[in-house]
Amino acid sequence: MSDVTIAEPSPARRTLGRLAWQLLPLCPFALVLAAWAIYWTIARPPPATLPAPHDVADAVWELAARGDLATHVAASLWRLLLGTSLGVLTGVIGGFVAGLNRPVAAFLNPLIVFFNAISGIVWLPLVIGWLGIGTALAVFLIWNTVFFIVFQNTALGVQLVPQVYEQGVRALGGGRWETIRSVILPGALPYILTGLRSGLGFGWRALIAAELVGATTGLGQMIYGATEFHRSDIVIGGCLIIGTIAMAMDRWLLLPIERRTIARWGLVIDARKEQ
């Protein structure tokens, strides 16, 4: 037996290490911010091209103080909520119907794939004629985006629930509805949640795009409106807010849902396999 002693890191060093690990993800942001500030100080570009970091902060603050920011964010989130709820509801129901019925699934699949390929913004020129500019348009585009993703994921999830679970419940005397309620619904949940997560991300992006082109309020419109006045500070500020909201939704909405359901059941699937 060798007599090499392995030095254990001291408790202080370990907590320091853990702290560093937690803070590491902030580094790229800090780096970008620093680079931005340094470049600006050296090159002094015109404000329309690249405003200073503090200009952006000021612009955002001003918007917030005036209450405009709140209005825009509220409008965007409201549309997102509507569109996503509709998309999830219809997507889950549709996905179940398809997943439980093999011939139906096979028949619908090519359609789903095709419409997924043109989901979202591609519908804008057509739908703007039907619904005009504003919330209805945005909600339609979001619904469109979310529906196909959730549908596909739900159908897949339903089909992949191991048959033995269903058989077990049948042997306990459970009928069709009991099977759907206690086996298929929870069993497909990991995939439904993946669909929801992707859908939400896509929906948010589609929303911004929709607002860029056809809205009177909302974050997308705020950015696009600022473009006309060459207010890059508002544009950049808006983008950062959009990104922040996306992260917040994922972290404080979806992750807890995941944790309380599928993580608790030990059923998390590979997040990389996004549909």
Partner 1 sequence: MRRTVQALRNMTVHPTASANAKIAVAGFRHFFPTADGPMQATDRVDLTIRAGEFVTLVGPSGCGKTTLLKALAGFIKPSEGTILCDGAPVRGPGRERGVVFQELAILPWRTVRRNIGHGLEIARVSRSERDRTVTRLIELTGLAGFEDRYPHELSGGMRQRVAVARTWAADPEIILMDEPFAAVDAMTRLTLQEELARLCAATKKTVFFITHSVDEAVFLGDRVLVMTRHPGRIKAVIEVPGRAAGRDWESFKADAGMQAITEQVLRLVREERGAAAASAAAVGEAHA
Partner 2 sequence: MSAANALSERAGFRHQPALAAVRRLGGLKILLPFAALIAAWWAIHASADFSPQVLVSPLAVWRAFVHLVAYGVMAEYASTSLRMIGVATVLSLMVGVPIGFAVGVNRYAAHALEGFLRFLQGISGIAWLPLAIIWFGFTHATTLVIVIYTLIVPIIFNTMIGVRAIPPTYALALRSLGASPLRLVTDVYLPGALPSIVVGLRLGMGYGWRALIAAEMLVRRGGLGDLIFGARTFGQIDRIIAGMIVIGCLYVVIDRLIVQPIENLTIARWGVLRA
**Residue in the block written with tokens 């529906």:** 147
257 burial type by CB count under 10 A (0-12 exposed, 13-18 middle, 19+ buried)? middle
Cα distance between residue 21 and residue 7, in whole Å? 21
266 is a site residue for partner 2 (CB under 8 A) = no
Query: Which residue's entry shows tokens 């005036």?
Result: 66
- From partner 2, partner 1, none, which one binds at residue 57 (CB under 5 to 8 Å depending on kind)? none
Residues 6+ apart with CB under 8 A from 188: 95, 96, 99, 154, 157, 158, 160, 161
Phi, then psi, of 134 in degrees rounded to 5: 125, -155
Q: Which of 59, 73, 105, 192 binds partner 2 (CB under 8 A)?
A: 105
By beta-carbon proximity to partner 2, the closer residue of 139 and 156 is: 156
Residue 89 contacts which entry, partner 2, partner 1, none (Cβ below 5-8 A, type-dependent): none
Determine which residue in the list 243, 256, 259, 265 makes contact with partner 2, applying CB under 8 A.
Answer: 243
Q: Which helix (H) or strand (E) holds 200?
A: helix 185-214
Interface residues with partner 1 (CB under 8 A)? 162, 164-165, 167-174, 178, 182-183, 186-187, 189, 261, 264-267
Stretch that binds partner 2, among 67-75, 82-90, 242-250, 259-267 (CB under 8 A): 242-250
The one of partner 2, partner 1, none whose footprint includes residue 170, by CB under 5 to 8 A per kind, is: partner 1
Closest distance to partner 2 from the beta carbon of 227 (Å): 4
Interaction between residue 114 and partner 2 (CB under 8 A): yes
Return the closest-CA partner of residue 96 out of 13, 159, 19: 159
- CB of 179: closest distance to partner 2 in angstroms? 12
